[in-house]
Amino acid sequence: MLKVDRISAGYGAITILSEVSLELSEGETKCVIGTNNSGKSTFFKVISGLLKPFSGEITLNGINVAGLTTAEIVELGIVLVPERRRLFAKMSVYENLLLGSYVSRGKKERKRSLEFIYQLFPVLEKRSSQLSGTLSGGEQQMLAIARGLMAKPRVLLLDEPSLGLSPLIIQNIFNIFNTLNEQGVVILLAEQNAEIALRASSQGYVLSNGKVVLQGESRALLQDGRVEDVYLGKME
C-alpha cells in the first residue's frame, strides 16, 4: 500500500534523512523508533508533504506522492497526527472533529465516522461541547487521533502518541490499533519509547542519525540488544 523508497531529506543544505526505506501493507501497524533528533518527525513530515524530499520516491497504491502538497496527500488518504496534538484549544471537541472531515473522503462519511469514533472513545462524546484546551492530556491525544480518523485515512501517521501520558492512558489508546487495522487503516508510529511502540506493532525500524540501522519483526527487536545500543549511542 505505502512504499517509501530511499528517501533523503533535510533543511537547506543540511541532510537529516539518508536513503530511508520502508513498506506498509493494508491492515498492519509498524513503528519507527529512535532517540530524539534521530529523524523520526522529519521522516513523517516528508511522507505527509510538509517537507519536500531531496531524492527518493513515496508511493501510495502505486501513485507517487513525493512532491505533492499536503492537501493533495490527505485527499489520497495519508493523514498525520502531529506530535503534541496541535488541537484548536478554543474550539469544542465536536468542532475539532468536524475540521478533520473537511476533505472529500471525510465529508462523505462524516456521520458514520462520528459514530465510529464515539464507540472508540466514548469520553469524546461526553465532552463534545467542551473546549478542547480544557481536556486532560490523554483526552487531548484521543481527540487528535479521532480528528485524524475523521479524514477517513488509508494510512495514519502517529507522531509520538505516548508523549507525556500515563502508562494506563497509553495502553487504552494503543488498544484501538487492532480495531483500526481491521477497518483497513494502516498505522505507522514514530516513538522514542521503543518498548511501547514495538509491543504495539508487527515490525519496527530503528532510526539513528537519519538512517535505518536496524529493522525486523517487533518481537525480535524487543530482544535485540542492539536496540539499546542505539539509544545509548553505541551504534550508529
Domain ranges of the chain: 1-77+155-160+186-236
In this structure, which topology does domain 1-77+155-160+186-236 adopt according to CATH?
A: Rossmann fold (3.40.50)
The model's confidence at residue 197, banded by pLDDT at 50, 70 and 90, is very high
- pLDDT, tens only, 116-141: 999 999 999 999 999 989 989 888 99
pTM given for the model: 0.91
- Write the burial class of residue 131 (CB in 10 Å: 0-12 exposed, 13-18 middle, 19+ buried): middle
Share of the chain above pLDDT 90, in %: 64
Residue 106 has pLDDT above 80, yes or no: no
Is the separation of the CB atoms in 2 and 78 below 8 Å? yes
Q: What is the mean pLDDT of residues 103-110?
A: 78
State how far the Cα of 121 lies from the Cα of 118, in Å rounded to an integer.
5
State how far the Cα of 209 lies from the Cα of 19, in Å rounded to an integer.
12
- pLDDT, tens only, 38-81: 999 999 999 999 999 999 999 999 999 988 999 999 999 999 99
Provide the pLDDT for residue 36: 86
The three cell numbers of residue 32 are 519507527
- Write the burial class of residue 43 (CB in 10 Å: 0-12 exposed, 13-18 middle, 19+ buried): buried
Mean pLDDT of the chain: 90
State how far the Cα of 131 lies from the Cα of 69, in Å rounded to an integer.
30
